[in-house]
A = this chain, B = another copy of it.
């Protein structure tokens, strides 16, 4: 299809998203096992851990051990999440010890001030000031600030549907700050934090962002909360989006759907399958990734939300049909 990109980049967030939400303690060795298996699938970029307070996120109490322990495969960008300076300092400490992490700075806002207040106890004015402080810290540490993200970009449980104009206004605010401070932002990440997006709203928001900042890349961070995740990704691709966050096996969902399998982040292997079946290159060996998704299910010890991992790809059937 001529309106689709020829290549899509998938950013794997399964380990970070998954292990922060799972209830049971998961052995450090098994976390490392998952990361090492993901490294063998052709993924280019993997978020391996979260440097957050172990009190707030007990699942990442062993983040230091995980970061030290996984095998670095050449060519893959491994990175970690931090939410404050303390977390960043932990990442920097690992870098000094030769961790070889992909370090980049990100500034962020939300399209809902109510959500921002509930989540971080800030208003927009406070947030701009705090993002400015963040940029200073990145600059002091020679970390390039390349990413601007906006949460609840498609809707918010507190404020309801989000106006496209709000997304533009809030992004403009932090992008102006970044410019003022001399950062070369490369791309904007639009996050459907609460599962409000649909293909039409994806097209509206992506279209408006692209029109306003044609020079910036766009990343979509989609959730599959209400079953529209893959359709939303497809709509994004139709708008030329080539960067997606996702999680193997759909790791990282909400605990309320524990039995059925948590429907959280868009599932990496389903997304890669969507691309590859349409002739869009991802660099991923989808069959291998299905095996890793099954491993993830074994590690967390309950069913996960991915579809392909339960049904299998079409590779075997294609090969058998060709041979017949």
The interface of chain A, by Cβ under 8 A from chain B, is 1, 4, 114, 155-161, 194-196, 198-201, 203, 224-228, 230-231, 233-235, 254, 256-257, 259-261, 263, 267, 270, 273-274, 277-279, 303-308, 310-311, 313-314, 317-318, 320-322, 324
Contact = CB atoms under 8 A, between A and B. Distances in A.
B260 A224 contact: no
Contact of A310 (B4, B156, B260): B260
A227 B308 contact: yes
Contacts of A307: 224-228, 263
Given A158-B317, A200-B278, A260-B304, 18 more contacts: A155-B314, A157-B317, A157-B320, A158-B321, A158-B324, A160-B318, A161-B321, A198-B278, A200-B277, A201-B278, A226-B308, A227-B230, A227-B274, A228-B273, A234-B235, A254-B311, A260-B260, A303-B303
A201 B276 CA distance: 12
Nearest to A223: B311
A195 B307 CA distance: 11
Contacts of A156: 321
The 3 closest A-B pairs by CB, nearest first: A227-B307, A160-B321, A227-B270
